[in-house]
Amino acid sequence: MPASPLPGQAALALAVEEVSKSYGSVKALDRVSLHVARGEFVALLGPNGAGKSTLFQLLTGLFVPDAGRIEVAGFDMRHQARRALACLGVVFQQATLDLDLSVVANLRFHARLHGMGRAARARIDAELHRTGLTERARDRARALSGGNRRRVELARALLHDPVVLLMDEPTVGLDPASRAQLVEYVHSLCTHRDVGVLWATHLVDEAESADRVIILHKGHWIASGTAAELRERTGRRSLRDAFLDLTGEASVEKEEAV
């Protein structure tokens, strides 16, 4: 199936073209192409095993694709990895804070990794203020709720002012209110900071408000469009039902209900 067309390269935060990755005989990704423009919130929607985690491993340079090309802010991940990675902010599915360090110490450590120097203090203060964590700056990360830990991870990901923000199943383990607040805040980053966001999720409700939804299934690009466009394409009233139709999961649900 053909991939979604790429817009002008100058507007892109992220471009993935014909990317494939196999682990032995298992093809985790098969010629997947997608793009994220600056200021755009794109939901990467797929069930567990769709290939979302593999794609994020390639986007963050943890692994190299077998074929295809990845560009971040115009920098080729294979040949200009350092410059490409400097333009990325990442919030991983698994928690990555040092729980024995304070909030501000976690952020300072990240700033040193990015060689931010004297600019770090002002940026840390600014991100803590934006995420409502100024009063918790000296608290150990261990003392924070799950939602506030995610806020620290998001503040950390934004410290170096990335062009694109990767969010890998970021609401896992959060209560509904914290989930909704995180989604809303990340949308505001697109609007006010022109950050391109790729939000990977298996939760359909998190994709409803995205500027564009990309459906990934069993390593294949299936469809792309707004929630309304995908509903219209399938003739379904909800994005959930459109998603089930496009991935073939609707027939599975019917069989299980019999």
Domain boundaries, the chain: 28-87+163-258, 96-161
Q: How confident is the model at residue 113 (pLDDT cuts 50, 70, 90)?
A: confident
Q: What is the Cα–Cα distance from 153 to 148, expressed in whole angstroms?
A: 9
DSSP of 181-224:
HHHHHHHHHHHHH--EEEEEES-HHHHTT-SEEEEEETTEEEEE
Residue with the bigger pLDDT between 55 and 5: it is 55
DSSP state of 169: S
Q: What is the Cα–Cα distance from 159 to 153, expressed in whole angstroms?
A: 10
Q: For the residues 213-241, what does the mean pLDDT come to?
A: 96
- Token pair for residue 213? 């939804």
Q: Which CATH number fits domain 28-87+163-258: 3.40.50.300, 3.40.50.11540, 3.40.1160.10, 3.20.20.70?
A: 3.40.50.300
pLDDT beyond 70 at 128: yes
- Token pair for residue 147? 């939602």
Q: How confident is the model at residue 7 (pLDDT cuts 50, 70, 90)?
A: very low
For residue 251, give every residue at least 6 positions away whose Cβ sits within 8 Å of its Cβ, in sequence order, or none.
none
Asked if 195 and 39 count as a contact pair (C-beta separation under 8 A), the reply is: yes
Among candidate residues 156, 72, 60, 154, the one with its CA nearest the CA of residue 112: 156
- Per-residue confidence (pLDDT) for residue 219, from 0 to 100: 95
On average, the pLDDT of the chain sits at 90
- Per-residue confidence (pLDDT) for residue 250, from 0 to 100: 53
Q: How confident is the model at residue 254 (pLDDT cuts 50, 70, 90)?
A: very low
